[in-house]
Structure 1
């Protein structure tokens, strides 16, 4: 990851079409009308065009709560840092209204880190989940939460609100937590949050970036640690450098390698589901579709976990 090494060239499989289409315009208009932020835009997600345009299924968006500025400064992330505003008390209701207007039946919520707030914004997160469920209990809600500085009571607030999937991203292998993540984040703290989620009735989900300098044995160890912690769903995606001031890409991982990690996760280690590919992100549509299918079949979280254990044995 030294600045003296040659920069790898971006391969053909990472080139994306620009966003367009009526569905894209409709979602963008609704978000602006309700003064809402999405991680799709703020984090410069490469899948924005496909997800919002509905090229691979119904349009979707990941709502980013608590503003567009983060209290932390991770070296991989394009979200702005510092200068946070007070919470918007109307945001939970506005998000629920936008969900109804767009017509989503699977909603992904995430947020910036708000270490400046007494509960890290956990109560605000929980209220948004409840507002969505109050309007239509059949809507499936995935919440991608910060670590809340490891505070179990804050994590429990979100669990008690009843999301169907509760995610927290470990992001990378233990050795690379710094310089990839902000120093206030760490591997053990993230595993602790995921373990608490796994002990609940929510599906526990996390995401790992490849291409930041990790070794295969470290990725396998991370998967093993996550499985031991009780994580149900894991996603792998290629890290892409948002700008020159961010962490450099160490290498571009071939799609075949992503396929191998999916096989290892599902067939060998027995994860419930693994979405793995260069353009996969933590709120990737394939993960949503999997959870949606399981939920619509009426399987409980424990029943689905039993099926995965049988597959992994």
Structure 2
């Protein structure tokens, strides 16, 4: 039996599936009910370009990125190796207030919508048709990285087989008094995403057969999650503690250790030197834009 999935955003719809006859039947049903226009094979959706190749599709935001460059008035400038300067920390009161912050707000909002984890060049997401359906996750935290609030930054990403499918970096809601607690909060955030994605895969008929490895480089945080005794030092993160431990005990996740040098989500939490930045971008399975596209 095949499967057909509808992705709907307001009045934009993508229909995908494994059964061409079923897809055709769904299209006929929709046309009989709504006034719709069939645009054929998917090439563009919500600012995301899709290029079909024999081994799988490429996803990129070339036009969207170029429109942002033009909006910022940077069309004649040269590119840079990394998106942020190394070791630079901006405070809330640095610089002068903008006379008209409208353009700045537009750029910030547009950059948030820009999906690529690397915004220094035209990069592609590759989705291989032969990739496995095994989920794997990475989590990390930049402890007390904000100079104004001393809050830490959570970073995590998810792979389905070799394909990067989900990621996030966000300042944590509370100040963590140790790097272990900051890392644990990051692990809790990605654990919630793991549970949701495993549920989604199950609904689509691809129930995960194995626990999802959640890679972290903080051994203390891993030991707290795997230890049935709730330590005194975890009382400030007790909900996170029980949430991760429940997922661990029910074999929803495993907690393998990854060395700091191979911690992929470092790129989501802090600025990097050029060589380190490009190394981590390659580990995210992003590739340069081919000349033929």
Fold match (TM-score > 0.5)? no
Structure 1-normalised TM-score?
A: 0.27
Structure 2-normalised TM-score?
A: 0.28
Please state which structure has a larger fraction of its residues in helix: 1
Q: Which has the higher contact order (CA 8 A, sep 6+)?
A: 2
Please state which structure has a larger fraction of its residues in strand: 2
